Amino acid sequence: MLIRVLALSAGLAILAGCAAPTRYIDPAADDGAVALTMDYRDFDKAATDAVEDMLSSGAVNNPNGGRYIMVVSRVTNDTMQRIDTDQLTKKIRVALLRSGKVVTTTAVGLNGAEDEMTQKARELRNSEEFDQSGVQRKGSLQAPDLSLSGKILQRNHKVDKEQQVEYYIQLSLTDLASGLAIWEGETPIIKRGSDKAVSW
Amino acid sequence: MKSVLLAGMLVLGLAGCASQPETSSVIDRAELKVDPEVIYTMDVTELLKTRLEQPGGDSLLQVQFAVEARSDTELAWNVTWFDASGIMVKSVGEGYRKATLLTGQTRYFNATAPSTRVTTFQLHLREPK
Protein backbone atom coordinates (compact mmCIF):
# COMPACT_ATOMS: atom_id res chain seq x y z
CA MET A 1 0.00 0.00 0.00
CA LEU A 2 2.75 2.38 1.06
CA ILE A 3 4.71 1.59 -2.09
CA ARG A 4 1.64 2.36 -4.23
CA VAL A 5 1.07 5.70 -2.49
CA LEU A 6 4.74 6.58 -2.87
CA ALA A 7 4.73 5.63 -6.58
CA LEU A 8 1.56 7.69 -7.18
CA SER A 9 3.02 10.69 -5.36
CA ALA A 10 6.24 10.43 -7.34
CA GLY A 11 4.27 10.20 -10.59
CA LEU A 12 2.21 13.28 -9.73
CA ALA A 13 5.33 15.19 -8.76
CA ILE A 14 6.98 14.35 -12.09
CA LEU A 15 3.85 15.36 -14.05
CA ALA A 16 3.60 18.65 -12.15
CA GLY A 17 7.25 19.30 -12.91
CA CYS A 18 6.67 18.77 -16.65
CA ALA A 19 3.66 21.10 -16.88
CA ALA A 20 4.36 24.51 -18.38
CA PRO A 21 4.38 27.09 -15.62
CA THR A 22 1.79 29.86 -15.75
CA ARG A 23 3.51 33.13 -16.64
CA TYR A 24 2.80 36.65 -17.79
CA ILE A 25 3.29 37.50 -21.45
CA ASP A 26 4.52 40.95 -22.37
CA PRO A 27 2.67 41.97 -25.56
CA ALA A 28 5.65 44.16 -26.52
CA ALA A 29 8.00 41.15 -26.59
CA ASP A 30 5.96 38.10 -27.46
CA ASP A 31 7.60 35.63 -29.82
CA GLY A 32 5.28 32.83 -28.70
CA ALA A 33 3.65 30.20 -30.89
CA VAL A 34 0.93 31.29 -33.29
CA ALA A 35 -2.62 29.98 -32.97
CA LEU A 36 -4.85 29.32 -35.97
CA THR A 37 -7.57 31.29 -34.26
CA MET A 38 -7.42 35.08 -34.04
CA ASP A 39 -5.40 36.26 -31.07
CA TYR A 40 -4.51 39.63 -29.60
CA ARG A 41 -1.56 40.04 -31.98
CA ASP A 42 -3.92 39.93 -34.96
CA PHE A 43 -6.11 42.69 -33.52
CA ASP A 44 -2.96 44.64 -32.70
CA LYS A 45 -1.82 44.43 -36.32
CA ALA A 46 -5.24 45.26 -37.79
CA ALA A 47 -5.70 48.27 -35.51
CA THR A 48 -2.17 49.54 -36.23
CA ASP A 49 -2.66 49.19 -40.00
CA ALA A 50 -6.05 50.93 -39.86
CA VAL A 51 -5.04 53.86 -37.65
CA GLU A 52 -1.74 54.53 -39.42
CA ASP A 53 -3.54 54.52 -42.76
CA MET A 54 -6.31 56.82 -41.47
CA LEU A 55 -3.73 59.28 -40.14
CA SER A 56 -1.42 59.23 -43.15
CA SER A 57 -4.27 59.47 -45.69
CA GLY A 58 -5.59 62.64 -44.06
CA ALA A 59 -9.08 61.12 -43.79
CA VAL A 60 -9.40 62.14 -40.15
CA ASN A 61 -8.16 65.71 -40.67
CA ASN A 62 -11.11 67.98 -40.00
CA PRO A 63 -10.91 70.82 -42.55
CA ASN A 64 -12.84 73.06 -40.16
CA GLY A 65 -10.24 72.49 -37.47
CA GLY A 66 -10.82 70.67 -34.21
CA ARG A 67 -11.60 67.02 -33.73
CA TYR A 68 -14.07 64.89 -35.61
CA ILE A 69 -16.70 63.09 -33.55
CA MET A 70 -16.94 59.39 -34.38
CA VAL A 71 -19.53 56.79 -33.50
CA VAL A 72 -18.82 53.08 -33.60
CA SER A 73 -21.39 51.35 -35.77
CA ARG A 74 -21.69 47.62 -36.48
CA VAL A 75 -18.59 45.47 -36.91
CA THR A 76 -19.88 42.07 -38.00
CA ASN A 77 -18.13 38.93 -36.85
CA ASP A 78 -18.43 36.54 -39.81
CA THR A 79 -15.92 34.03 -38.45
CA MET A 80 -16.31 30.64 -36.79
CA GLN A 81 -15.07 32.09 -33.52
CA ARG A 82 -16.78 34.03 -30.81
CA ILE A 83 -15.09 37.40 -31.14
CA ASP A 84 -15.94 40.55 -29.26
CA THR A 85 -15.26 43.11 -31.96
CA ASP A 86 -14.65 45.74 -29.26
CA GLN A 87 -11.20 44.17 -29.02
CA LEU A 88 -10.52 45.78 -32.39
CA THR A 89 -12.60 48.94 -32.22
CA LYS A 90 -11.37 49.91 -28.76
CA LYS A 91 -7.76 49.92 -29.94
CA ILE A 92 -8.72 52.12 -32.89
CA ARG A 93 -10.72 54.50 -30.68
CA VAL A 94 -7.92 54.83 -28.15
CA ALA A 95 -5.31 55.51 -30.84
CA LEU A 96 -7.49 58.05 -32.66
CA LEU A 97 -8.22 59.85 -29.40
CA ARG A 98 -4.50 59.98 -28.57
CA SER A 99 -3.80 61.36 -32.04
CA GLY A 100 -5.92 64.40 -31.13
CA LYS A 101 -7.92 64.10 -34.34
CA VAL A 102 -10.99 62.07 -33.41
CA VAL A 103 -13.11 61.72 -30.29
CA THR A 104 -15.72 58.97 -29.96
CA THR A 105 -19.24 59.61 -28.71
CA THR A 106 -20.65 57.11 -26.23
CA ALA A 107 -24.05 58.81 -26.25
CA VAL A 108 -25.23 57.19 -29.52
CA GLY A 109 -25.12 53.62 -30.71
CA LEU A 110 -26.98 51.14 -32.90
CA ASN A 111 -28.32 49.35 -29.86
CA GLY A 112 -28.69 52.43 -27.70
CA ALA A 113 -26.08 54.57 -26.07
CA GLU A 114 -22.83 52.87 -25.06
CA ASP A 115 -22.96 54.89 -21.86
CA GLU A 116 -26.59 55.31 -20.82
CA MET A 117 -25.59 57.73 -18.09
CA THR A 118 -25.58 60.57 -20.64
CA GLN A 119 -29.39 60.29 -20.87
CA LYS A 120 -29.89 59.33 -17.23
CA ALA A 121 -28.04 62.44 -16.10
CA ARG A 122 -30.49 64.54 -18.11
CA GLU A 123 -33.43 63.04 -16.28
CA LEU A 124 -32.33 65.12 -13.32
CA ARG A 125 -33.55 68.19 -15.18
CA ASN A 126 -36.25 70.01 -13.18
CA SER A 127 -35.72 67.73 -10.18
CA GLU A 128 -35.96 69.76 -7.03
CA GLU A 129 -33.48 67.41 -5.35
CA PHE A 130 -30.60 68.53 -7.56
CA ASP A 131 -28.79 71.81 -7.90
CA GLN A 132 -29.87 72.66 -11.45
CA SER A 133 -26.73 74.66 -12.20
CA GLY A 134 -24.83 71.35 -12.52
CA VAL A 135 -27.44 69.54 -14.59
CA GLN A 136 -26.70 69.21 -18.30
CA ARG A 137 -28.54 71.72 -20.42
CA LYS A 138 -30.69 70.92 -23.45
CA GLY A 139 -28.83 70.86 -26.74
CA SER A 140 -25.41 70.21 -25.22
CA LEU A 141 -24.84 66.75 -26.74
CA GLN A 142 -22.70 66.58 -29.87
CA ALA A 143 -23.79 64.55 -32.88
CA PRO A 144 -21.25 62.32 -34.65
CA ASP A 145 -19.56 63.32 -37.92
CA LEU A 146 -18.07 59.92 -38.72
CA SER A 147 -19.13 56.31 -38.33
CA LEU A 148 -16.80 53.32 -38.06
CA SER A 149 -18.18 50.04 -39.35
CA GLY A 150 -16.76 46.80 -40.66
CA LYS A 151 -16.65 43.06 -40.93
CA ILE A 152 -14.29 40.24 -39.99
CA LEU A 153 -14.39 37.36 -42.46
CA GLN A 154 -12.94 33.87 -42.21
CA ARG A 155 -12.18 31.42 -45.01
CA ASN A 156 -10.70 27.95 -44.46
CA HIS A 157 -8.81 25.96 -47.09
CA LYS A 158 -6.96 22.68 -47.15
CA VAL A 159 -3.47 23.02 -48.59
CA ASP A 160 -1.61 19.69 -48.96
CA LYS A 161 -1.69 18.22 -45.46
CA GLU A 162 -2.17 21.56 -43.80
CA GLN A 163 -5.05 23.93 -43.43
CA GLN A 164 -4.97 27.57 -44.35
CA VAL A 165 -7.14 29.97 -42.45
CA GLU A 166 -7.68 33.41 -43.91
CA TYR A 167 -9.10 36.31 -41.96
CA TYR A 168 -9.99 39.61 -43.56
CA ILE A 169 -10.56 42.59 -41.31
CA GLN A 170 -12.49 45.14 -43.33
CA LEU A 171 -13.24 48.61 -41.99
CA SER A 172 -14.98 51.71 -43.34
CA LEU A 173 -15.16 55.24 -42.05
CA THR A 174 -18.31 56.95 -43.30
CA ASP A 175 -18.89 60.69 -43.40
CA LEU A 176 -22.40 60.89 -41.92
CA ALA A 177 -23.15 64.19 -43.71
CA SER A 178 -22.72 62.70 -47.18
CA GLY A 179 -23.00 58.96 -46.49
CA LEU A 180 -19.72 58.46 -48.33
CA ALA A 181 -16.97 56.17 -47.07
CA ILE A 182 -14.06 58.59 -46.79
CA TRP A 183 -11.64 55.86 -45.70
CA GLU A 184 -11.62 52.08 -46.19
CA GLY A 185 -9.10 49.47 -45.25
CA GLU A 186 -8.60 45.73 -45.31
CA THR A 187 -6.02 43.78 -43.33
CA PRO A 188 -5.64 40.16 -44.42
CA ILE A 189 -4.27 37.77 -41.80
CA ILE A 190 -3.30 34.43 -43.31
CA LYS A 191 -2.28 31.46 -41.18
CA ARG A 192 -1.22 27.96 -42.16
CA GLY A 193 -0.96 25.11 -39.69
CA SER A 194 -1.74 21.54 -38.81
CA ASP A 195 -4.85 20.08 -40.34
CA LYS A 196 -5.66 18.73 -36.90
CA ALA A 197 -5.73 22.16 -35.29
CA VAL A 198 -9.12 23.82 -34.99
CA SER A 199 -9.82 27.38 -36.04
CA TRP A 200 -13.01 27.92 -34.06
CA MET B 1 28.89 77.99 17.30
CA LYS B 2 31.29 75.18 16.43
CA SER B 3 28.50 72.63 16.42
CA VAL B 4 26.40 74.79 14.08
CA LEU B 5 29.32 75.03 11.64
CA LEU B 6 29.91 71.28 11.82
CA ALA B 7 26.21 70.54 11.23
CA GLY B 8 26.20 72.95 8.29
CA MET B 9 29.26 71.29 6.72
CA LEU B 10 27.72 67.85 7.26
CA VAL B 11 24.50 68.91 5.53
CA LEU B 12 26.46 70.37 2.61
CA GLY B 13 28.56 67.21 2.40
CA LEU B 14 25.46 65.01 2.32
CA ALA B 15 23.80 67.22 -0.31
CA GLY B 16 26.92 66.88 -2.44
CA CYS B 17 26.78 63.08 -2.22
CA ALA B 18 23.11 62.85 -3.25
CA SER B 19 22.68 62.02 -6.90
CA GLN B 20 20.86 64.75 -8.74
CA PRO B 21 17.95 63.57 -10.91
CA GLU B 22 18.43 64.31 -14.58
CA THR B 23 15.60 66.58 -15.57
CA SER B 24 16.50 67.45 -19.11
CA SER B 25 19.15 66.34 -21.53
CA VAL B 26 19.62 65.88 -25.22
CA ILE B 27 19.64 62.18 -26.04
CA ASP B 28 21.63 61.06 -29.03
CA ARG B 29 19.45 58.11 -29.98
CA ALA B 30 20.21 56.09 -33.10
CA GLU B 31 17.32 56.10 -35.56
CA LEU B 32 18.19 52.62 -36.79
CA LYS B 33 19.07 49.66 -34.60
CA VAL B 34 19.76 46.40 -36.44
CA ASP B 35 20.50 43.13 -34.62
CA PRO B 36 23.57 41.21 -35.84
CA GLU B 37 21.47 38.17 -36.91
CA VAL B 38 19.56 40.40 -39.32
CA ILE B 39 22.72 41.84 -40.89
CA TYR B 40 23.74 38.31 -42.02
CA THR B 41 20.61 37.81 -44.09
CA MET B 42 19.59 41.24 -45.38
CA ASP B 43 20.65 44.81 -46.06
CA VAL B 44 18.77 47.91 -45.02
CA THR B 45 18.94 49.78 -48.32
CA GLU B 46 17.07 52.91 -47.32
CA LEU B 47 15.57 54.74 -44.40
CA LEU B 48 13.47 57.76 -45.28
CA LYS B 49 11.47 60.14 -43.16
CA THR B 50 9.00 62.80 -44.11
CA ARG B 51 6.54 65.06 -42.33
CA LEU B 52 2.94 65.05 -43.56
CA GLU B 53 1.44 68.53 -43.33
CA GLN B 54 -1.71 68.70 -41.24
CA PRO B 55 -4.42 71.37 -41.03
CA GLY B 56 -3.48 73.92 -38.41
CA GLY B 57 0.20 73.91 -39.29
CA ASP B 58 1.16 70.69 -37.50
CA SER B 59 2.83 67.77 -39.23
CA LEU B 60 2.95 64.03 -38.77
CA LEU B 61 6.20 62.08 -38.98
CA GLN B 62 6.24 59.15 -41.43
CA VAL B 63 9.09 56.70 -41.78
CA GLN B 64 9.85 54.30 -44.63
CA PHE B 65 12.60 51.73 -44.81
CA ALA B 66 13.59 49.11 -47.36
CA VAL B 67 15.35 45.80 -46.84
CA GLU B 68 16.86 43.52 -49.47
CA ALA B 69 17.18 39.85 -48.54
CA ARG B 70 20.25 37.76 -49.40
CA SER B 71 18.37 34.57 -48.51
CA ASP B 72 14.85 33.52 -47.52
CA THR B 73 14.40 35.03 -44.11
CA GLU B 74 12.05 36.46 -41.54
CA LEU B 75 12.13 39.89 -40.01
CA ALA B 76 10.49 41.54 -37.03
CA TRP B 77 10.43 45.31 -36.79
CA ASN B 78 9.12 47.96 -34.51
CA VAL B 79 9.22 51.75 -34.40
CA THR B 80 9.31 53.58 -31.07
CA TRP B 81 8.25 57.22 -31.18
CA PHE B 82 9.51 60.12 -29.06
CA ASP B 83 8.39 63.69 -28.51
CA ALA B 84 10.65 66.77 -28.50
CA SER B 85 11.66 66.08 -24.89
CA GLY B 86 12.71 62.53 -25.75
CA ILE B 87 9.74 61.02 -23.93
CA MET B 88 8.22 57.95 -25.58
CA VAL B 89 4.84 58.45 -27.26
CA LYS B 90 2.59 55.38 -27.16
CA SER B 91 1.83 53.86 -30.55
CA VAL B 92 -1.27 51.92 -31.57
CA GLY B 93 0.15 48.43 -31.14
CA GLU B 94 2.94 47.31 -28.87
CA GLY B 95 4.26 44.26 -30.65
CA TYR B 96 6.81 43.74 -33.38
CA ARG B 97 5.47 43.54 -36.92
CA LYS B 98 6.60 40.44 -38.75
CA ALA B 99 7.55 40.08 -42.40
CA THR B 100 8.87 37.31 -44.62
CA LEU B 101 11.40 38.02 -47.35
CA LEU B 102 12.37 35.86 -50.29
CA THR B 103 15.91 35.71 -51.65
CA GLY B 104 16.67 38.84 -53.66
CA GLN B 105 13.40 40.48 -52.70
CA THR B 106 13.33 44.12 -51.67
CA ARG B 107 10.47 45.07 -49.43
CA TYR B 108 9.37 48.51 -48.35
CA PHE B 109 7.70 49.16 -45.01
CA ASN B 110 6.33 52.32 -43.55
CA ALA B 111 5.04 53.55 -40.25
CA THR B 112 3.19 56.72 -39.31
CA ALA B 113 3.63 58.46 -35.98
CA PRO B 114 0.62 58.23 -33.67
CA SER B 115 0.58 61.96 -32.99
CA THR B 116 1.91 65.28 -34.28
CA ARG B 117 3.88 65.54 -31.00
CA VAL B 118 6.35 62.97 -32.34
CA THR B 119 9.66 64.43 -33.47
CA THR B 120 12.07 61.47 -33.42
CA PHE B 121 11.94 57.70 -33.67
CA GLN B 122 13.95 54.53 -33.31
CA LEU B 123 13.50 51.64 -35.74
CA HIS B 124 14.55 48.24 -34.43
CA LEU B 125 15.05 45.29 -36.78
CA ARG B 126 15.44 41.81 -35.31
CA GLU B 127 15.07 38.19 -36.23
CA PRO B 128 11.93 36.62 -34.76
CA LYS B 129 12.54 33.49 -32.71
What pLDDT does residue A75 have?
97
Nearest to B111 by CA among B56, B18, B49, B58: B49
Residue ranges per structural domain of chain B: 29-126
Residue in B76, B92, B97 nearest the CB of A47? B92
Chain A contact for B48 (CB, 8 A cutoff): no
Q: Distance between CA atoms of B77 and B82, rounded to whole angstroms?
A: 17
CA distance A57 to chain B (A): 9
Contact A52 B90 (CB under 8 A): no
What pLDDT does residue B55 have?
87
The CATH number given to B29-126 is 2.60.40.3230
Percentage with pLDDT > 70 across chain A: 92
Average pLDDT, chain A: 92
- The segment with the largest mean pLDDT, out of A19-28, A57-66, A177-186, is A177-186
Which contiguous run of DSSP H or E holds residue A88? helix A86-99
- Name chain A contacts of B37, Cβ cutoff 8 Å: none
Residue B98 confidence (pLDDT) above 80? yes
**Tens of pLDDT along A34-52?**
999 999 999 999 999 999 9
Mean pLDDT over A112-123 rounds to 96
Query: Looking at this predicted complex, what is its ipTM?
Result: 0.85
What domains, with CATH codes, occur in chain A?
35-111+141-200 (3.40.50.10610)
Contact B86, B27 (CB under 8 A): yes
**Tens of pLDDT along B23-58?**
666 678 999 999 999 999 999 999 999 999 998 889
Q: Distance between CA atoms of A31 and A36, rounded to whole angstroms?
A: 15
Under the banding of pLDDT at 50, 70 and 90, the label for residue A167 is very high
Q: Distance between CA atoms of A182 and A86, rounded to whole angstroms?
A: 22
- Residue B78 corresponds to which amino acid? N
What pLDDT does residue B129 have?
84
Residue in B55, B94, B114 nearest the CB of A28? B94
Mean pLDDT over B100-104 rounds to 97
Q: Distance between CA atoms of A153 and A169, rounded to whole angstroms?
A: 7
CA distances from residue B94 to A128, B58, B71, B110, B115 in whole angstroms, order as listed? 50, 25, 28, 16, 15
Residue A146 confidence (pLDDT) above 80? yes
